[in-house]
């Protein structure tokens, strides 16, 4: 297995990330179908990723196994200038995904190891992440690679 920094300039990587993002969003358990991210929105996310990579303090790594790009991690360093700054100076994992056929082989753990190293090199002393409370697999994964559960929240919405 190999971990590669993502570059939007590579058509192969871009198309692989598009595919992975589609699989990722399709596999999420949306409580309200209205919240689901449709495949048609993925190109906009890819464009935003390219912009954020250019702006810095944001990174994406891809995992490759047997020539297949099979997973990704998207993370950033939180700062006042970011769209939603929770903890300035902290590294944040925004999204993490491994294709079902490649799971259970330590790929996500390795992706997080790269994110940790990247964040450390840029002065972060903390790396944060989150997942839905029902996402038991992700919860066990986070606990088993050294994260500690820090908080649980309830989200609200009202119709206008
Ligand atoms: C969560 C996810 C990223 C884990 O990927 P993975 O490559 O299979 O994880 P790893 O093989 O690196 O697992 C590392 C450790 O976590 C444990 N683990 C991973 N997934 C697990 C699961 N579903 N149930 C129980 N333990 C799990 C592994 O047993 C392993 O423990 P070990 O080091 O003691 O052997 C993957 O299942 C996934 O993409 N899920 C869908 C998307 C998602 O939920 N993303 C996270 C939201 S932030």
Residue 79 is part of a domain; what is its CATH number? 3.40.630.30
Q: Which domain, by its residues, includes 19?
A: 2-144
Whether ligand 1 lies within 6 angstroms of the CB of 133 is answered as no
Report pLDDT digits (tens) over 73-124: 999 998 777 666 667 789 999 999 999 999 999 999 999 999 999 999 999 9
Q: What is the pLDDT of residue 32?
A: 78
Q: What is the pLDDT of residue 30?
A: 79
Whether ligand 1 lies within 6 angstroms of the CB of 107 is answered as yes
Report pLDDT digits (tens) over 123-147: 999 999 999 999 999 999 999 999 9
**If we measure between CA atoms, which residue out of 71, 78, 52, 63 comes closest to residue 130?**
78
> Does the residue 155 lie in any domain?
no
> Does the residue 130 lie in any domain?
yes
> Does the residue 57 lie in any domain?
yes
If one residue of 3, 130, 141 were mutated to test the ligand 1 pocket, choosing by the most ligand atoms within 8 A of its CB, it would be 141
In this prediction the pTM is 0.94
For the chain, the domain total comes to: 1
Q: What is the pLDDT of residue 85?
A: 61
CA of 108 to the centre of ligand 1 (A): 6
> Does the residue 129 lie in any domain?
yes
Whether ligand 1 lies within 6 angstroms of the CB of 23 is answered as no
Whether ligand 1 lies within 6 angstroms of the CB of 124 is answered as no
> Does the residue 83 lie in any domain?
yes
């Amino acid at each position: 297995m190999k971990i590669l920094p993502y570059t939007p300039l590579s058509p192969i990587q871009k198309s692989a990330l598009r595919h992975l993002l589609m699989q990722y969003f399709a596999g999420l358990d949306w409580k309200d179908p209205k919240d689901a991210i449709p495949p048609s929105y993925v190109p906009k996310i890819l464009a935003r990723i390219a912009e954020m990579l250019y702006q810095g303090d944001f990174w994406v790594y891809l995992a490759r196994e047997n020539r297949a790009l099979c997973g990704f991690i998207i993370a950033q360093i939180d700062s006042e200038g970011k769209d939603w700054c929770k903890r300035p100076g902290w590294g944040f994992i925004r999204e993490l995904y491994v294709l079902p056929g490649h799971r259970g082989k330590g790929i996500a753990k390795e992706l997080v190891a790269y994110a940790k190293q990247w964040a450390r090199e840029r002065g972060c002393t903390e790396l944060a992440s989150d997942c839905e409370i029902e996402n038991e697999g992700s919860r066990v994964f986070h606990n088993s690679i050294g994260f500690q559960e820090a908080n649980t929240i309830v989200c609200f919405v009202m119709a206008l």
